[in-house]
Amino acid sequence: MFSYIVRRILATIPVMAVVAIFVFALLHLSPGDPAAIIAGDTATPADIARIRAHLGLDQPIYIQFGDWVWRLMHGDLGISIFTDLPVTQLIAQRVEPTVALTISTLVVSVAVAIPLGIIAAWKAGTWIDRAVMVFAVLGFSVPVFVLAYLLIYAFAIAADWLPVQGYVGPSRGLWPFVSHLILPSIALGMIYAALIARITRASMLDVLAQDYIRTAQAKGLGSLRVLLGHALKNASVPIVTIIGIGVALLISGVVVTETVFAIPGLGRLTVDAILRRDYPIIQGIILIFSGVYVLINLLVDLSYTLLDPRIRY
């Protein structure tokens, strides 16, 4: 097991290197010049040229890449072209809201979806099953921003129960922290809840058709014990896989949610940086995201050994 973990971690190095080269090349080959954006609407071409020179953007691309890699090897993600602040500082400012939103969304999604999926499988073919599937279809179909606006209108404007926007850290009180996450988590979690509910239902249906479940029922075990004690554990490998993939998808999915709810997270930082061609920020975030993806995949793979003793690495 230990050697497997070490091998997987070492395997991330070439992955990250490929990501770094690809992202750098893609950014520098795409149109758009941060110097022109900085200089503003009334700048002359000479002004733009001087700003480019100061930013080092007039250097050949291989020199810019070499500089970036050298700094990266020293743990330095560079300086934001626009704000003149270290990229690590900007990312550090944004990690907490994104992590909080991701975790709260996962909690909401899993808490809603797994019971729904189990109930749908248990009551397969009944109106309850159909109602859960309607919920799942709705979850897939309604865009995040539409649901977000509806939630804002209903719970923040009309009822005045929850805040419209923003993020408040846990250090400023439990309720302010939680209240700012409820609507974004529901809006973002809907699609994942739908996905997890469908997978849970399908997986549970497979397991519930197995002989050992019939045996358990024949022995007189209660439905709850059969469902949770015998069926769910054996159905959990695909569910955990989809939750793991969901975490990775959530990181990219937070962009819209963070924009609509004005949450200062990594998603918004990425979009803002792309729009103004702030290369060091884009490069830094994508590199970190790719590292997180690799780590999540590793954790999901390791969790299989806990859920299914037959799996060994």
Interacting residues with other proteins (CB under 8 A): 31-34, 36-48, 50-51, 53-54, 80, 82-85, 90, 93-94, 149, 152-153, 156-157, 160, 163-166, 173-176, 259-262, 264, 268-269, 272, 275-277
Give min distance, CB of 57 to other proteins, in A: 11
| Amino acid identity, position 66 | G
- To other proteins, the closest distance from the beta carbon of 164 in angstroms equals 4
- Shortest distance (Å) from residue 88 CB to other proteins: 14
Residue number with CB closer to other proteins (27 or 213): 27
Least separation in angstroms between residue 230's CB and other proteins is: 34
Which residue do the tokens 């975490």 mark? 247
CB of 278 to other proteins, least distance (A): 8
Q: CB of 112: closest distance to other proteins in angstroms?
A: 24
Residue among 192 and 279 whose Cβ is closer to other proteins: 279
3-state secondary structure the chain: CHHHHHHHHHHHHHHHHHHHHHHHHHHHHCCCCHHHHHHCCCCCHHHHHHHHHHHCCCCCHHHHHHHHHHHHHCCCCCECCCCCCEHHHHHHHHHHHHHHHHHHHHHHHHHHHHHHHHHHHHCCCCHHHHHHHHHHHHHHHCCHHHHHHHHHHHHHHHCCCCCCCCCCCHHHCHHHHHHHHHHHHHHHHHHHHHHHHHHHHHHHHHHHCCHHHHHHHHCCCCHHHHHHHHHHHHHHHHHHHHHHHHHHHHHHHHHHHHHHCCCCCHHHHHHHHHHCCCHHHHHHHHHHHHHHHHHHHHHHHHHHHHHCCCCCC
282's CB contacts (< 8 A; 6+ apart) are: 23, 27, 270, 273, 274
264 CB burial (10 A radius; 0-12, 13-18, 19+): middle
Residue 117 or 267 with smaller CB distance to other proteins? 267
Cβ nearer to other proteins, comparing 16 with 164: 164
Q: Output the smallest distance, CB 270 to other proteins, in A.
A: 10
Residue 43 vs 202, nearer CB to other proteins:
43
CB 116 within 8 A of CB 139: no
Nearer CB in complex with other proteins: 149/212: 149
CB of 254 to other proteins, least distance (A): 14
Q: Which is nearer to other proteins, 166 or 222 (CB)?
A: 166
Q: Which is nearer to other proteins, 185 or 200 (CB)?
A: 185
